[in-house]
Amino acid sequence: MTRYDTLIKNGTILNASNSFKGDVAVQGETIAGVGDIKGEAATVIDAKGCFVMPGGVDVHTHLDMPLGDITTADDFAAGTLAAALGGTTTIVDYAAQTKGQSLLKGLEEWHKKADGKAVTDYGFHMTLAEFTDGTGPEMDRLVQEGVTTFKVFMAYPGRFMLGDGDIFRVMLRAKENGGMALVHAENGPVIDELVRRALAEGNTKPKHHALTRPMEAEAEAVHRALALGAMAKAPVYIVHLSAALSLEHVRRAREAGQNAFAETCPQYLFLSDEAYDGPDAEAFIMSPPLRPRGNERKLWEGLKKGWIQTVATDHCSFTLEQKKGKPDFTKIPGGVAGVGARVPLLWDAAARGKLTRNRFVDLVSTTPAKLFGLYPRKGIISRGSDADLVIIDPKKKQVLSGRPYGGRELRGAVKEVLIRGRRVLVPNPPKGVFLKRQPNL
């Protein structure tokens, strides 16, 4: 009789494409069998009454990220442990180039941050601060190193923003080497003018962060990014899409056959700009900002109908203490935590009928793995895939703590998590490995 390392028995297996009652056998780091498993195991986990899904894949995080003289509260050890306990077993974080620095040097710095600390497996995107004569060849080298996606900003003139010509060059090069451009789409010069006027009028409170970054500024930039992608005949991925106006452009591009993709985040699905009129409004500063109540309905429709392909977190954990006491909203560091709450929040949404369970798995695991060169190693419960497995108890309830989702009661809770066959236990969690992602050739 075959003897496995781990056997998960009696659960309902959830993939993006199907669901069925069965067992999952694990040998070493991979899935050795799925279905009615006959055999013994050193460890048997009874999943009766529970669902077994592939580990979550969060393709938008910022861990150990510096901003001026401060750094996010979560390093790779704390951030990935939170992710794992919340059902996310793989992250793709943003390494960053600084102006005058090579892309390879930026990547090296992020490898040092993560190596030996990460609990989950991890990959990297590369954020470009500039496009010089050497950028294209370096992009080619990064693709060979398994870093196949390149983020560009249409916002923050003088700091991060690239002009349309340079963004177009990034897209063209990515098309040639099998990479993909990821776009932070907000009209930076217009936002800067709105900010200048707000400050001149004495409007310094956190709510003016949202008022100076209107949905139209995002929608215009999304439309422009998609137009650049169409001219380059290259894939375009819009990060943290927040506005229904923007989604219309993505929908039309996709219906026209363009290789256009969009990501939204839990904060835009579950929160609204009412937070900027409440206590501790600084805690909710992020870019793009929270939107008016009612906007989220279009985003949920986009998730159901396939206009939005992924839900990621943009996890960027500046604390309230780091945000408080600033002279005006422009000095408040942007970002919120969420890497541990994403899977539970979206599971609860499925339990309440906003999504099917299979679509839930598709959004938080399978399509992120496919789009970012990790499938079928990640994103599916199948023989030969990594044994990244999450057991969810649908009958158990949990109450989230901490900002921005503190106090929210959810249906269902993560009961057990395995990363490449190892159970996530505190204080001795697994050690994550760097994932060389495949190009989109």
Q: How do residues 303-338 score in pLDDT, each as one tens digit?
A: 999 999 999 999 999 999 999 999 999 999 999 999
Topology match between the domains 3-53+382-423 and 56-371 = no
Token pair 């494409």 is found at: 17
Q: Where in the chain are the domains?
A: 3-53+382-423, 56-371
- Give the predicted TM-score (pTM) of the model: 0.98
Quote the pLDDT of residue 21: 98
User: Average pLDDT for residues 389-395, to the nearest whole number?
Assistant: 98
Q: Give CA angle at 436 (15, 150), nearest 5°.
A: 95
Residue 356's closest CA among 11, 13, 18, 83?
18
What's the CATH class of domain 3-53+382-423? mainly beta
Model confidence at 441, pLDDT cuts 50, 70, 90, reads: low
Predicted confidence (pLDDT) at residue 179 exceeds the cutoff of 80: yes
386, burial (CB in 10 Å: exposed 0-12, middle 13-18, buried 19+): buried
Beta carbons within 10 angstroms of residue 189's beta carbon: 12
What's the CATH class of domain 56-371? alpha beta
User: Average pLDDT for residues 198-203, to the nearest whole number?
Assistant: 98
3-state SS, 353-369, equals CCCCHHHHHHHHHHHHH
User: Average pLDDT for residues 102-110, to the nearest whole number?
Assistant: 97
